[in-house]
Structure 1
Amino acid sequence: MLNTMGALNRYREALRVPGIPRVVAAAFLCRLLAGMVSLALLLAAVEVSGSYAIGGAVTAGYAVALTIAAPVWGRRADRLGFSRSLVTGTVLQVLAFATFVLTALFFPEPLLLVAAAFLVGSVNPPSGAVSSTIFTTYVTAPQARTTLLALNGLMTEGVFIVGPMLVGVLVAVISPLVAVMATALVSTVGALWLAGAPAVRATDRPRPPAPAERRFAWPPGQFGILFVVAMAAVGIGAVNVTVVARSTDMGANAGLLLGVMAVGGVLGSFLYGGLKLPGRLPSLLMAVLALYGVSILLLGLELGLLATLCVLLFIGFANGPADAIESQIVADRAAEGTRTQAFGWLTSANWIGFAAGTSLTGFAIENGSVAYGAIVGAVASLLAAAATMIRPRRTAEVAAEIPAK
């Protein structure tokens, strides 16, 4: 029988670390951006252009920019300090959001809208990478680190429930552009609150530049885990498209189905953070991804609504711990002073994989059936599970000891 009180006690112990409650609260506000921004930009672009194709291009522009910029901002935070990078990114992001709103109001040309969205994505403050670094650097107790990284995953699942709801309410009551401005406000408050947190300032030590040949290279020791993250994200993207297609066939609400899966993710993340599981991290990750991949195959069957809801709840539950385990592995393989950049690469791998998964699955369903989409997701997730066994030839710690030429 699961010891629920024991799990809750581990969360209480982790949140008793001085300064961590503020970091957690600020990190949740910052993460609301991820749950709101794509939908807000999409609806705003559709409103001013009348085209879903342009709306899709706008969100793609944001995603591409974020993918490119995340490790750059992570490296800047490692080099110049967390607070300084967060404040700089926040100021630039406010200006970028204002540019998007003004473009939508006065110059709603498709290319200008895409360019403005690209600008917004390129100046996203490194809030997620910084908070993850705090959880793995400022917090030294292993169980507390595991619990906080699981809480990170729980918050990520939660914002994709709360964020779209907030955008939906703002769009229904006022307008999509107000939803865009609200997204900017939430991100600004969260990032500035995080920048001023005592735990952030206590860990905030700017580092000297790295040797020239390693200033912005692929992080040593990270290839295997980043490949796993990308392939797992392909599976997640495939599941999202498959669920939407399945909801159309069933006459059900896609938001309800995806919401149930997110609830499963919250439960899985919560339990992972509150338990002490045996085994090495790569083995645990292989287990949850294999379970996730096998369960996705059930989405290809013509199940009823209740059975589909149960499957989605289980899929979310199986995938819930994956984010926390991936973050732990990334942190363990990152050299001192490069961890924030490593988390930036983690963000990029997730976005690349998700975009590839949604595109590939859409093509598979369009030219086959919903079952093909489930197969894409299952294959990608099982491939990710197999790739967890890739061992780094050279760790970041070893690379950091190599002298400059």
Structure 2
Amino acid sequence: MTPRQWFRRTAPDLRCTARRFRNTAPARTGTASYRSALRTPGAAAFFLAAAPARVGVAMAGLGIVWLVHAETGSFGVAGLVTGSFAVAETLVGPQTARLMDRFGQPRVLVPLLCAHAAAITALVALALTGAPTVPLMAAGLAAGATIPQIGALSAARWSALLHGRAELTPAFALETISNDAAFLLGPALAVLTATQVHPAAGTVLAGALVVGAGLAFAALRRTAPEPAATPAPDRTAARGPGALSTRNFATLLAVNLALGVFFGSMQVSVSAFADVHHAAAAAGFLYGLMSAASLLAGLAYGRHRRHTPPAAQLPLILAFLACASLLPLLADAPWQLGLALLLPGAGVAPCIIASSTLVESVMDRSVLTQAFTWTNSASAAGIAVSAAAVGRLVDGPGGTQAGFTVPFVALTATAALTWSSRHTLTTSTKASTQLPSETDATVAAPLTDHHVESDRGTGQG
């Protein structure tokens, strides 16, 4: 056999082998995965529509702090009103999510946004007319009860489009990066408008962004998850890894609660630190530095595939974040505080991405919107408790030093909890991946013709 004859005979086999290798090779992570996620039909539209609303949400807390402080002269009262706002998110958010699971996102979101606009108007009017603390807290409750859970709604849309695909974890990284970008811009914009334009300007602009962008998001009906066939309360009673009452989900709620304590404590403590050092206008910039570090860490974390399960990564990330949160105690000037906030900021995005990946992996598909909303509500609860408590602490003899110690305690306890639960979380993740439901297969099948699925149990994160 001549070399030419041998080549003609073996070339088809070689091409077939190469084709099989390409089809079975692991999906690329990094920039290509980010692009693949955004190229999913309809994904870029709802992702971009949600971006201004995220900025508005990021502005809301600091906007209320500076509005109420400017009118009352007390960070304690400002913390109570901001805490009331977060408490209402915690209590009402999951109930709204149940309605969205049952009736669909657009039908519930539009009236919710109209009510939020009315609540923000009432809060601003009461603050400017010198209303006492109780009416201000009531208005804060109304505004928090009606603010849409944009992050949960967007995450539920990503999961509906990409469940079981390699691009899902990069999509959650995009979610976290977008949130970090919002918290990089939002706080600075809130403080800038409140201090340079008018004390109410930050709150008004935040409400306008949430309502305007939320209506645009609601108009994109094609990517909204299908309403559940039966009411959500009946589904949540189901047993198994997807039930809302499992220990695994309770652990993930505790993680988000601790993150809320971190955010709420830092918001009030950084604002008070800047005010004490006669640099009030720099508070948003200082807090934004932490968000910038989180954004860069999220980009790096989402670009690379890891073989360590997310359940094993999460307690280590929490331990790092707890230790890093002690650095602000060493700061004696605003520029020193800015540097001290970079390291804890670098731990925020990886923690959120790992937590979101675990929620999507272990929760039942029919209650996924509620699951993401409950995690957001847990964060809101942490913000509520810490904002009120730290507001009192920084007004007391301990000052900002006392406020900066709160995140360390919460994060250390949560790191120990997640470490003790890492094995059950890993087992539940693998079971959910290996035993997909018929509904999941039906949803995923039309979207995976040209993409390679990966095992989420290997710990992409």
TM-score bin, normalised by smaller chain? 0.7 to 0.9
Counterpart secondary structure, 2:217: helix
Distance 1:51 1:237, change over 3 A: closer
Report the counterpart of residue 111 of structure 2 in structure 1.
88
Residues 298-323 of structure 1: per-residue CA shift (max 9 Å, x gap): 33346887775444222211222111
State the partner residue of 1:72.
95
Counterpart residue number, 2:255: 228
Residue 33 of structure 1, aligned match among 33, 37, 56? 56
The structure with more radius of gyration = 2
Structure 1 gap ranges (5+)? none
C-alpha distance in structure 2 between counterparts of 1:256 and 1:286, whole Å: 29
The count of aligned residue pairs is 394
Which residue of 302, 323, 340 corresponds with 1:273?
302
8 Å contact kept, 2:184–2:289: no
Q: Distance in 2 between matches of 1:67 and 1:213?
A: 21
| Structure-2 change in CA distance of 1:393 and 1:72 (3 Å) | farther
Q: How far, CA to CA, are the matches of 2:109 and 2:363 in structure 1?
A: 21
Change over 3 Å in CA distance of 1:176–1:155 after alignment to 2: same
Cα distance, 1:299–1:116 mapped onto 2, change above 3 Å = closer
Q: Does 1:7 align with 2:30?
A: yes
CA distance in 2, matches of 1:21, 1:257: 31
Deviations 1:367-397 (CA, angstroms, capped at 9, x unpaired): 6586665554334223222222323799799
Partner of 1:208: 230
Q: 1:378 aligns with which of 405, 408, 427?
A: 408
Larger mean CA deviation between 248-257 and 282-291 belongs to 248-257
Gaps of 5+ in 2: 1-27, 438-461
Deviates more, 1:7-16 or 1:210-219: 210-219
Displacement of 1:356: 3.5
Residue 120 of structure 1: aligned partner: 143
- Counterpart position of 1:145: 168
Query: CA 1:320/1:395 → structure 2, altered by over 3 Å: closer, same or farther?
Result: closer
- The letter for the 2-side match of 1:115 is A
Partner of 1:25, secondary structure, is: helix
Q: Who is 2:316 aligned against? A: 287
In structure 2, the residue matched to 1:63 is 86
> Relative to structure 1, is the Cα distance of residues 9 and 212 closer, same or farther in structure 2, using a 3 angstrom cutoff?
closer
Report the aligned-residue RMSD.
3.6
* 8 Å CA contact retained: 1:194, 1:200: no
Deviations 1:61-120 (CA, angstroms, capped at 9, x unpaired): 212111211111111111111111211211221222233344456683443232222111
Asked whether 1:327 is paired with 2:356, we answer yes
Residue 21 (structure 1) shift: 0.9
Give 1:257 shift.
3.1
TM-score (norm 1): 0.83
Aligned-pair distance for 1:339? 0.8
From 114, 129, 133, the equivalent of 2:156 is 133
Counterpart-to-counterpart distance in 1, 2:126 and 2:393:
36
Q: Distance in 1 between matches of 2:386 and 2:268?
A: 9
Q: Secondary structure at the match of 1:108?
A: coil
What does residue 444 of structure 2 align with? none
Measured at CA, do residues 383 and 250 of structure 1 come closer, stay the same or move farther in structure 2, by a change above 3 Å? same
Percent sequence identity over aligned pairs: 26
Opposite residue 70 of structure 1, the aligned amino acid is G
